[in-house]
Amino acid sequence: MPVKPVHLAAHFPGVNNTTVWSDPASGSQIDFASFAHLARTAERGKFDFLFLAEGLRLRELKGRIHNLDVAGRPESLTVLSALSAVTARLGLAATVNSTFNEPYEVARRLATLDHLSEGRAAWNVVTSWDEFTGENFRRGGYLDEADRYGRAAEFLHTARELWDSWAPGDLVTDPGAGVFARPGSGAFAHRGRQFDIAGRFNVPRGPQGHPVIIQAGDSPQGREFAAADADVIFSRHGTLEDGRAFYKDVKSRLARYGRRRDELKIMPAVTYVLGDNEADAAERAAEIRRRQVGPQTAIAYLEGHWGRDLSAYDPDGPLPDVEPDLGEGVSQGRAQFRGDRGETVRRWRALAAERGLTIRELVIEATGRQTFVGTPASVADQIDTFVQTDAADGFVFVPHLTPGGLDDLVEHVVPLLQEKGVFRADYTGPTLRDHLGLQAPRTPRAARTPRKVS
Amino acid sequence: MTGLHLSAALNDAGWHPAAWRDPAARPAGLFTARYWTDLATEAERGLLDFVTIDDSLGLQSSGPTVPDDRTDQVRGRLDAVLVAARIAPATERIGLVPATITTHTEPFHVAIGIASLDHASRGRAGWQPRVGARLSDAAHFGRRAFPDLDRPWSATAEGAALGAELFGEAGDVVEVVRRLWDSWEDDAEIRDAATGRFLDRDKVHYIDFEGARFSVRGPSITPRPPQGQPLVTALACGVRSYEFAARGADVVFVTPRSRADAFAVVAQIREAERTVRRSGEPLRILADLVVFLDEAPGAAVSRKARLDDLDGAPLDSDAEIFTGTPGELADLLLDWRNAGLDGFRLRPGVLPSDLAGITRGLVPVLQERGAFRTGYQAATLRGHLGLARPANRYAAT
């Protein structure tokens, strides 16, 4: 069996406690130089793409702005467009919310990025339902949670109609003949439950036809959405066993949409720590975890799950005996406290009792442990094993430091993957679709909006 | 004599609808990064204060209100904020002023987009808010119905009411955007290891805008931009838009048709400033001119005439059209400035040639006459315009 190629992506450090800001090597989360550093590092490592997340409202805890984690980030597409000037091949992936945007604008901004970057644009389609974020938008947060995948699917479908409204060749630009564009270029009409729009799209077809579509959702609806219409799916399954189960499930969904197994790439988000030997790496990993979960952050985590003020508790003491308040909760703007909090509290108490852990030790143990910890050789082996045994097609690496957090991965691990022959030694094509081994999108000309020709 | 402020308005292949058919045009490049960075680099070579980049949420049209089916003019346009962002790392000093459409684009998205442009350009971002009154563009969003007007909307009572509504809304959008830019104080980020706090939450502010049309809570997700407040510009003609500019803009673009008209327009702008009780810096007033420039006497006139023939009609513009030599244009600018203008925004008839006419023809003449800078004196766009970095409205004094 031929080896599967590994795909690699770089995640700009997030606005959460994975990102360590107290380290002396921690730089600005907003200066363009930080983005340029990470993008250039990723391109030096021949990564498929750089990824930017999005959150359209600052997180809150107990009704006040969360002040313990890194906060503040730019608008994704704007900074990616600027990054296209300092990179030549790296894919550029933006998270853009389908709840607080309109298809016409999102489609034209992504098509613009695809033109300006010469075919390197990608869109991570996310949905939001919360009125909390909606308070920042004139349309508000009206969406029912049940409707969110319906809206996302129709939003993406509509965007594809807009990208297809200019066919290859519609842009003529023949000064002698005096023809700039073919008649009817950009004509579209979409009548659906979420959107009822018609007119003329004003960006010609981009180099990739359609940008690469990314979906990050683990629910059955999210998996189905990805199987139907995405090119890449992010997951959080960072163990071999979970990864294989997810991989098998998602890939098995593709056939019913007439898609081949290699038309959707599965890329878990992962963290890593390198050391000179295994013990050194483990020690570094533990130190990073201590920095990620400071005393105040440990209490904040507990408050998120308990749904009440626990500021009087000692982070170096035992877990609170007070029962959780399972009502509305105290955390806003974070997905992770939306699950079954009662169940989490029971599990954490059991773990703490069994191991004799303090609050801080418990949170360090129970949240966000690094995926890959080891020497460059062992991490390269783990990456290769995940991919060759169908637990992933590649990974989105989430560094804990801005902006140098992937420097050692690119310097020490990528060459080993290249030596194994499982990762490209250089880019083989200009577009992100080329990097991911994806074909051009189908453009059923016959299915296009009938054109009015004058 | 203080120097003129000069900027160039970049728009498709130039401001003549047949510009793309001029031998000097680069129509195949219109949707490439190279085209736009070459233009901005040329403008920077000429030490211009800034370039504006036009935008619209529908296809260009030869008619005032709806799309047409002409195939002999440029159709299609890239998102201006993203074009400006692409230019930013390729330039050092020139200001970048993209347009957005206040009628359809969410103010929160605009605020973080322009703030991000200011971060990416290290303090060279501006913004031109524009209203979008076309029925056909509204149908691209499907969220509001506009009257179906067959004439420019300003010419009917119904259109005038729509104009008042859209300018009122644009005023709200500018207010929201400006508040969001200030919603992080400059020293909100403290990285205090002792208390585990990254932010001083007392220095990050809800903006709590409540208007007749929408409300926005804030704060921004993007820290305060390097300039504090990126430069806000507005194209204005008529009292309503003068007052809109006087309320929310730093720079206003006006369209006098003569020297005498320039005096009248400047007086009306000052009157609008008084009407809205503007405080702080007065508006910087730049007059718009469409320019066709050639060194050889008469060449620009015949070049424009050829383009008029190709297009089937003489160029029609809201701004005065100048054809002539760079020296003649310098004479005109230095004459008109006596009306109290701070400078000019020149709209090249054909790109890139008429931009080069500005940077390589006009600018050296103005420099010789001591009327234009010979080097950039400031690092930010506000600095080029002589505007200080403003205090934060939310900071305790």
Q: Which residues of chain A lie closer than 8 angstroms to B189, CB-CB?
A: 71-72
Residue A316: inside a domain, yes or no? yes
Q: Are B198 and A71 in contact (CB under 8 A)?
A: yes
Q: Which residues of chain A lie closer than 8 angstroms to B143, CB-CB?
A: 102, 139
Select from B38, B15, B81 the least CA-distant residue to B359.
B38
Q: Are B114 and B225 in contact (CB under 8 A)?
A: yes
- Interface probe for B, chosen from A80, A138, A292 (most Cβ of B below 10 Å), is A138
Query: Is B374's pLDDT higher than 90?
Result: yes
Q: Are residues A208 and A231 in the same domain?
A: yes
Spatial separation of the C-alpha atoms in residues A357 and A368, rounded to whole Å: 17
In chain A, the residue whose alpha carbon lies closest to the alpha carbon of B215 is A138
Compare CB distances from A21 to B69, B108, B191 and report the shortest one's residue: B191
Distance from the B163 Cα atom to the nearest Cα atom in chain A, whole angstroms:
20
Looking at the 3D structure of chain A, how many domains does it have?
2
Q: Are residues A25 and A137 in the same domain?
A: yes
Residue B120: inside a domain, yes or no? yes
- Interface probe for B, chosen from A78, A79, A402 (most Cβ of B below 10 Å), is A78
Average pLDDT over residues A96-117: 96
Q: Are residues A36 and A21 in the same domain?
A: yes
Query: Per residue in A135-193, pLDDT tens?
Result: 999 876 666 777 778 889 999 999 999 999 999 999 999 999 999 999 999 999 999 99
Looking at the 3D structure of chain B, how many domains does it have?
1
Compare CB distances from B86 to A81, A166, A201 and report the shortest one's residue: A81
Compare CB distances from B198 to A68, A117, A136 and report the shortest one's residue: A68
Q: Are B142 and B149 in contact (CB under 8 A)?
A: no
pLDDT at A325: 92
In chain B, the residue whose alpha carbon lies closest to the alpha carbon of A178 is B72
Residue A286: inside a domain, yes or no? no
Q: Are B269 and B245 in contact (CB under 8 A)?
A: yes
Residue B184: inside a domain, yes or no? no
pLDDT at B95: 98
Distance from the A388 Cα atom to the nearest Cα atom in chain B, whole angstroms:
38
Q: Which residues of chain A lie closer than 8 angstroms to B195, CB-CB?
A: 296
Q: Which residues of chain A lie closer than 8 angstroms to B175, CB-CB?
A: none
Residue B390: inside a domain, yes or no? no
Select from A107, A122, A225, A89 the least CA-distant residue to A158.
A107
B180: helix, strand or coil:
helix
Residue B307: inside a domain, yes or no? no
pLDDT at A453: 38
Boundary of a domain, candidates A366, A398, A427: A366
pLDDT at A150: 86
Residue B269: inside a domain, yes or no? yes
Q: What residues are paired with A97 via a beta bridge? A: A126
**Would you call B326 exposed, middle or buried from its count of C-beta atoms within 10 A (0-12, 13-18, 19+)?**
buried
Q: Are residues A359 and A239 in the same domain?
A: no
Torsion sign across C-alpha atoms B326, B330, B331, B335: positive
Q: Are residues A232 and A340 in the same domain?
A: no
C-alpha angle with apex A299: A293 to A305, nearest 5 degrees? 105
pTM to 2 decimal places: 0.97
CB neighbour list of residue A419: distance below 8 Å, 6 or more residues apart: none
pLDDT at A451: 45
Percentage helix, strand, coil for chain B under 3-state DSSP, each rounded to 5: 40, 15, 45
Compare CB distances from A67 to B107, B199, B213 and report the shortest one's residue: B199
Boundary of a domain, candidates A337, A366, A395: A366
Residue B168: inside a domain, yes or no? no
Q: Which residues of chain A lie closer than 8 angstroms to B87, CB-CB?
A: 85
Residue A252: inside a domain, yes or no? yes
Residue pairs spanning A and B at CB distance below 8 A: 228
**Chain A neighbours among B 88-117 (CB < 8 Å)?**
88-90, 104-109, 112-113, 115-117
Residue B158: inside a domain, yes or no? no
Residue A429: inside a domain, yes or no? yes
pLDDT at A452: 42
A197–B139: do the CB atoms touch at under 8 Å? yes
Average pLDDT over residues A40-68: 96
- Interface probe for A, chosen from B54, B59, B79, B213 (most Cβ of A below 10 Å), is B79
Q: Are A38 and A86 in contact (CB under 8 A)?
A: no
User: Domain of B101: which CATH number?
Assistant: 3.20.20.30
Q: Are B385 and B53 in contact (CB under 8 A)?
A: no
Query: How many percent of chain A have pLDDT more than 70?
Result: 96
pLDDT at A146: 72
- Interface probe for B, chosen from A67, A133, A203 (most Cβ of B below 10 Å), is A67
Q: Are A278 and A298 in contact (CB under 8 A)?
A: no
Query: Is A133 known as a binding-site position?
Result: no
Residue A280: inside a domain, yes or no? no
User: Domain of A240: which CATH number?
Assistant: 3.20.20.30
Compare CB distances from A175 to B21, B119, B184 and report the shortest one's residue: B21
Q: Are residues A203 and A342 in the same domain?
A: no
C-alpha angle with apex B133: A181 to B214, nearest 5 degrees? 125
- Interface probe for A, chosen from B55, B65, B71 (most Cβ of A below 10 Å), is B71
Q: Which domain holds residue B243?
A: 5-142+228-298+315-384
Backbone angles phi, psi at A9, to 5 degrees: -135, 155
Residue A281: inside a domain, yes or no? no
Q: Strand A394-397 and strand B320-324: pairing?
A: unpaired
Q: How confident is the model at residue B150 (pLDDT cuts 50, 70, 90)?
A: low
Spatial separation of the C-alpha atoms in residues A203 and A447, rounded to whole Å: 20
Compare CB distances from B79 to A112, A181, A294 and report the shortest one's residue: A112
Query: Is B1's pLDDT higher than 70?
Result: no
Q: Which domain holds residue A348?
A: 294-366
Compare CB distances from B113 to A75, A137, A202 and report the shortest one's residue: A75
* Mean pLDDT of chain A, nearest integer: 93
Q: Would an 8 Å CB–CB cutoff place B202 in contact with chain A?
A: no
Q: Would an 8 Å CB–CB cutoff place B213 in contact with chain A?
A: yes
Distance from the A421 Cα atom to the nearest Cα atom in chain B, whole angstroms:
35
B366: helix, strand or coil:
helix
The Cβ of residue A88 has, within 10 Å, a number of other Cβ atoms equal to: 12
Q: Which residues of chain A lie closer than 8 angstroms to B88, CB-CB?
A: 32, 82, 85
Q: Are residues A195 and A86 in the same domain?
A: yes
Distance from the B181 Cα atom to the nearest Cα atom in chain A, whole angstroms:
12
Distance from the A251 Cα atom to the nearest Cα atom in chain B, whole angstroms:
35
B140–A195: do the CB atoms touch at under 8 Å? no
pLDDT at B18: 98
Query: Is A443 known as a binding-site position?
Result: no
Average pLDDT over residues B246-252: 98
Q: Are residues A226 and A321 in the same domain?
A: no
Query: Per residue in A271-282, pLDDT tens?
Result: 999 999 999 999
- A59, two tokens: 């997180």
Q: Indicate if ipTM > 0.95.
A: yes
CB neighbour list of residue A268: distance below 8 Å, 6 or more residues apart: A234, A235, A236, A237, A238, A243, A371, A392, A395, A396
**Chain A neighbours among B 115-174 (CB < 8 Å)?**
115-117, 119-120, 122, 136-137, 139-143
Q: Are A76 and A214 in contact (CB under 8 A)?
A: no
- HSE-up (13 A, CA, CB side) for residue A426: 3
Q: Are residues A357 and A382 in the same domain?
A: no
Q: Which residues of chain B lie closer than 8 angstroms to A194, CB-CB?
A: none
Spatial separation of the C-alpha atoms in residues B175 and B163, rounded to whole Å: 18
Q: Are B354 and B293 in contact (CB under 8 A)?
A: yes
Distance from the A428 Cα atom to the nearest Cα atom in chain B, whole angstroms:
22
Q: Are residues A253 and A310 in the same domain?
A: no
Spatial separation of the C-alpha atoms in residues A82 and A36, rounded to whole Å: 9
CB neighbour list of residue A35: distance below 8 Å, 6 or more residues apart: A12, A74, A79, A82, A83, A403
Element (H, E) at B6: strand B5-10
A202–B57: do the CB atoms touch at under 8 Å? yes
B76–A171: do the CB atoms touch at under 8 Å? yes
First to last CA, chain A: 57
Q: Would an 8 Å CB–CB cutoff place B299 in contact with chain A?
A: no
Residue A278: inside a domain, yes or no? no
Spatial separation of the C-alpha atoms in residues B58 and A197, rounded to whole Å: 12
Query: Is A438's pLDDT higher than 60?
Result: yes
Q: Are B5 and B284 in contact (CB under 8 A)?
A: yes
Q: Are B216 and B225 in contact (CB under 8 A)?
A: no
- A91, two tokens: 């894919």
Query: Per residue in A265-320, pLDDT tens?
Result: 999 999 999 999 999 999 999 999 999 999 999 999 999 999 999 999 999 999 99
Query: How many percent of chain A have pLDDT more than 90?
Result: 85
Residue B11: inside a domain, yes or no? yes
B224: left (phi over 0), alpha (psi -120 to 50) or beta: beta
Query: Is A335's pLDDT higher than 80?
Result: no
Q: Are residues A38 and A156 in the same domain?
A: yes
Q: Are residues A210 and A331 in the same domain?
A: no
The three-state DSSP-derived secondary structure of chain A is CCCCCCEEEEECCCCCCCCCCCCCCCCCCCCHHHHHHHHHHHHHCCCCEEEECCCCCCCEECCEECCCCCCCCCCHHHHHHHHCCCCCCCEEEEEEECCCCCHHHHHHHHHHHHHHCCCCEEEEEECCCCHHHHCCCCCCCCCCHHHHHHHHHHHHHHHHHHHHCCCCCCEEEECCCCEEECCCCCEEEEECCCCEEEEECCCCCECCECCEEEEECCCHHHHHHHHHHCCEEEECCCCHHHHHHHHHHHHHCCHHHCCCHHHCEEEEEECEEECCCHHHHHHHHHHHHHHHCCHHHHHHHHHHHHCCCCCCCCCCCCCCCCCCCCCCCCEECCHHHCCCHHHHHHHHHHHHHHHCCCHHHHHHHHCCCCCEEECHHHHHHHHHHHHHCCCCCEEEECCCCCCCCCHHHHHHHHHHHHHHCCCCCCCCCCCHHHHHCCCCCCCCHHHCCCCCCC
Dihedral Cα A87, A91, A92, A94, nearest 10 deg: -170
Q: How confident is the model at residue A236 (pLDDT cuts 50, 70, 90)?
A: confident
pLDDT at B158: 82
Torsion sign across C-alpha atoms B304, B309, B311, B314: positive
CB neighbour list of residue B189: distance below 8 Å, 6 or more residues apart: A71, A72, B198, B199, B200, B223
The alpha-carbon radius of gyration of chain A (Å, integer) is: 23
- Interface probe for A, chosen from B74, B81, B87, B119 (most Cβ of A below 10 Å), is B119
Boundary of a domain, candidates A366, A396, A428: A366
**Would you call B138 exposed, middle or buried from its count of C-beta atoms within 10 A (0-12, 13-18, 19+)?**
buried
Helical H runs in chain B?
Answer: 33-45, 80-87, 107-120, 135-138, 157-182, 239-248, 259-275, 299-311, 326-336, 353-356, 363-368, 381-384
Compare CB distances from A65 to B196, B201, B222 and report the shortest one's residue: B201
Spatial separation of the C-alpha atoms in residues A252 and A424, rounded to whole Å: 27
Q: Is the peptide bond before B129 cis (omega within 30 degrees of 0)?
A: no
